[in-house]
Amino acid sequence: MMVKLYQSIAEPLTETMLFDWHKMLMNGRRDLDDIDSYRSHAESMQIVSGPDYNRKIHYEAPPSQNVASEMSTFLDWFITPEKNISAITRAAIAHLWFESIHPFEDGNGRIGRAIAEKALAQGVSVAASHGVLSTG
């Protein structure tokens, strides 16, 4: 997925791109209902703690039926970057926004970090991890 990301750094982030990344990450997973598409289950996506009999809900993501419109708003924002925002700030906002939508059944953390990498790289015109990944 990261190779694909670096090959398309300059391209706008699209729903198709996200679905392709998700499919690459989830390839072979039989335990998921939705691969290369947004989550569609009826249960809410929650961050919880505590024992089963006394769960504390810390965050509840938008319901599955709202994910497509939430992602459309996010993608519109991402592909039209503001001139007065630093690459680091844009990457942080993009990562937090994407994670708060939590559009996929699994893989949101990895895809969210890839989105942050894309935002950073677009802001500095080079892949942010280039120095870490280069051999020379």
Which of 83-87, 103-107, 125-129 is least confident?
Answer: 125-129
- 106-129 confidence digits (pLDDT tens): 889 999 999 999 999 998 865 555
Annotated binding-site residues read 106-113
Q: Which amino acid is at 87?
A: A
Q: Is 102 a catalytic residue?
A: yes
The residue from 22, 41, 58, 102 that is catalytic is 102
Burial class (CB in 10 A: 0-12, 13-18, 19+), 129: middle
> Which residues carry a binding-site annotation for ATP?
106-113
Q: Which amino acid is at 28?
A: G
Instruction: Write down the pLDDT at residue 111.
Output: 96
Asked whether the predicted pLDDT for residue 82 surpasses 90, the reply is no
